[in-house]
Amino acid sequence: MSADSNPSNAAAPVPTDFIRDIVAQDVAAARFPKIVTRFPPEPNGYLHLGHAKSICLNFGIARENNGRCNLRFDDTNPAKEEVEYVESIQTDVRWLIDGWADHCLGFKAPGAAPAAGTVNGLPDFHAAAAPAGTAGAEPFYASDYFPQLYEYALTLIRKGHAYVCDLSPAETEEYRGSPDKPGRNSPFRDRSVAENLDLFTRMRAGEFPDGKRTLRAKIDMTSPNIWLRDPLLYRIRHIAHHHTGDAWCIYPLYDYAHCLSDYLEGVTHSICTVEFEVHRPLYDWILEHLDLPRPRPHQYEFAKLNLSYMIFSKRRLIQLVQENFVQGWDDPRLPTIAGARRRGIPARALRNFAYHVGVTKFDGLTDIAAFEHTLREELNGISHRRLAVLRPIKIVLTNIAEGEVLTCDATNNPQDENPTTRPLALTREVFIESEDFAEVPPPKYFRLKPGGEVRLKYACIIKCDEVVKDAAGQVTELRCTADLTTRAGGPNVDRKVKGTIHWVSATQSLDAEVRLYDRLFTVAEPGAEEDFKKFINPHSLEVVTAKVESSLATATPAERYQFERTGYFTVDSKDSAPGKLVFNRTISLKDTWAKK
């Protein structure tokens, strides 16, 4: 990896995009004491690569400006949210930013609630971030702001900007009109402030059943922007909340809670995806109609990530998991962050990828090849090389005695400045990859063929003397002679042959389960298909029992390995155990030969 393509390198140029340009202008104009962004997932599912883009953007801006990025759970809909997701999201975020932007992670002091105070003579609430290193610091929760949000709602009512509406859900929809047809005013729109106050207080007190009344902003039922047609601010839901329990039976809606949560936390740049563009006038309207003394946050939108051969829709991801097309949310074939981690994708590769795709408002489709390139680029630099034979075929080196062990030096990583080595045992019987032998070789075949020569990597050149077959005509073993003069230190070490292949000793090697993952879908845009499940790649997972060199006995999930000439692998964090090795293929090596 070159230094200047690596955003985690201190000397690297910072990325530029239209949002960072805006932030830079705000910094230049000293509009804010500190740049504060936020990553605000709803805890209703696992994070995926699309979220990773957003995390890298928000935390990236924070770290580039000596600012902060709050992790906030946008948990205003208790019907959909669970603690399992709260926990997985924290794990994924911390993993993704570790060693890169963890010093910018905005958490609050344990149990902290927004503090009431006075700013510029006006009453104010502020949800401060805890100083770095605060013991027990925890993420922000929108649900921690329910009391303040309730106060703000009372204020809107008093100012005549909000009213309690008794329309049923169906009636509300009907009154709203449609994009090309203006809506009509609710018959409850002109209730007195006193009545609204009374009704809203009683909503909060639990006097009314679900759906009976709502609190609405009084804006304009004829607005061409549907989100300005008296949007709902609060609904009644008699349901326990994962974070606030039974404390509330009215819950704020996204548009109301989000802008105010941003404000409470002192967020300066609220960055979301383009589908919220039409919500921005409402975001601004709410903040403008409360007399908030501190600088108001502003919303900016960018296009979400689309990757070919992948699916990001939460609804569809759930189907894949629940209908057992994959094995759980961390299945390595899934575009979830948990899946990527288990597959062996380094966090830094994800960050680099986010850097390379850029940030725009254009709704494009990024080629999966760009993602794979970033992976290989990162993995190439950090992976230790190992020899592993995925589909073994036995070779007998007839001029090596049984029991004889010749030790070879193998380079751990040629990309290192001062590469280290490890010993490898060459014995009479070895395994090579079955696809590295062809009885009838295609043109330009560099590998082993009857009567042909090939080099066993780190060992010596061998010549195929005899092909042994069983009664069915299947090749069972190859009998070869080893030219020991071509070993390291030997007189003919520099003798060239066209092909060099990987191998392992038959007696000094280990069996390992190896999971060969491939793309989950067979079409570039599975999300565009009505029945996307018809396009699931039946070969997205192939499991083989491989022969791997014995040094892999102590392999850990923290390590990345390149099985030479094959691909990048890591130990499976769940299923691997001492004595029962399981490897996941992160990504194959580029193979320009196979394409021809």
Binding residue for RNA, selected from 178, 327, 398, 407, defined by CB under 7 A: 178
Here the tokens at position 116 are 């009431």
Site for RNA in 99-158 (CB under 7 A): none
CB 408 within 8 A of CB 486: no
Draw the binding track, 347-386, toward RNA (x: CB under 7 A; -: no contact): ---------xxxxxxxxxxxx-xx--x--xx--x----x-
Distance CA 229, CA 518 (A): 48
Q: Which helix (H) or strand (E) holds 18?
A: helix 18-28
Binding residue for RNA, selected from 46, 85, 276, 283, defined by CB under 7 A: 276
Distance CA 409, CA 407 (A): 7
Shortest spacing between CB 135 and RNA, in angstroms: 29
Binding residue for RNA, selected from 84, 190, 207, 210, defined by CB under 7 A: 210
Residue span binding RNA (CB under 7 A) among the ranges 26-34, 69-77, 343-351, 578-586: 69-77
Alpha helical stretches, state H, 440-494: none
On the 0-12 / 13-18 / 19+ scale of CB atoms within 10 A, 73 is buried
Closer CB to RNA, 17 or 198, in the complex: 17
Binding residue for RNA, selected from 37, 143, 214, 584, defined by CB under 7 A: 214
State yes or no: residue 501 binds RNA (CB under 7 A): yes
* Torsion (CA) 149, 152, 154, 157 in degrees, nearest 10: -120
Alpha helical stretches, state H, 300-438: 314-322, 337-343, 347-357, 368-382
Shortest spacing between CB 337 and RNA, in angstroms: 17
Q: Which helix (H) or strand (E) holds 50?
A: helix 49-64
State yes or no: residue 13 binds RNA (CB under 7 A): no
Shortest spacing between CB 255 and RNA, in angstroms: 7
Helix (H, G, I), strand (E, B) or coil at 425: strand
Closer CB to RNA, 450 or 499, in the complex: 499
State yes or no: residue 447 binds RNA (CB under 7 A): yes
Here the tokens at position 569 are 């692998």
Closer CB to RNA, 130 or 274, in the complex: 274
Distance CA 167, CA 183 (A): 14
Chain centre distance of CA 528: 21
Shortest spacing between CB 357 and RNA, in angstroms: 4
Residue span binding RNA (CB under 7 A) among the ranges 60-68, 441-449, 472-480, 546-554: 441-449
State yes or no: residue 232 binds RNA (CB under 7 A): yes
Residue span binding RNA (CB under 7 A) among the ranges 103-111, 113-121, 193-201, 222-230: 222-230
**CB 401: neighbour CB atoms within 10 A?**
10
* Ramachandran angles phi, psi of 30, nearest 5°: 50, 45
State yes or no: residue 500 binds RNA (CB under 7 A): yes
Longest dimension (CA), the chain: 101
Binding residue for RNA, selected from 77, 299, 551, 570, defined by CB under 7 A: 77
Shortest spacing between CB 378 and RNA, in angstroms: 11
Alpha helical stretches, state H, 119-251: 146-158, 169-176, 193-204
State yes or no: residue 277 binds RNA (CB under 7 A): yes
Distance CA 18, CA 27 (A): 14
Shortest spacing between CB 210 and RNA, in angstroms: 6
Residue span binding RNA (CB under 7 A) among the ranges 113-121, 394-402, 423-431, 500-508: 500-508
Distance CA 61, CA 38 (A): 10
Contacts of 40 (CB under 8 A, 6+ apart): 72, 73, 74, 142, 258, 261
Site for RNA in 31-50 (CB under 7 A): 40, 42
Site for RNA in 306-345 (CB under 7 A): none
Site for RNA in 236-275 (CB under 7 A): 236, 251, 253-254, 257-258, 274-275
Binding residue for RNA, selected from 294, 391, 519, 565, defined by CB under 7 A: 565
Closer CB to RNA, 502 or 585, in the complex: 502
State yes or no: residue 474 binds RNA (CB under 7 A): no
CB 544 within 8 A of CB 512: no
Give the count of residues interacting with RNA (CB under 7 A). 92
68: alpha, beta or left, given left = phi > 0 and alpha = psi -120 to 50? beta
Shortest spacing between CB 112 and RNA, in angstroms: 21
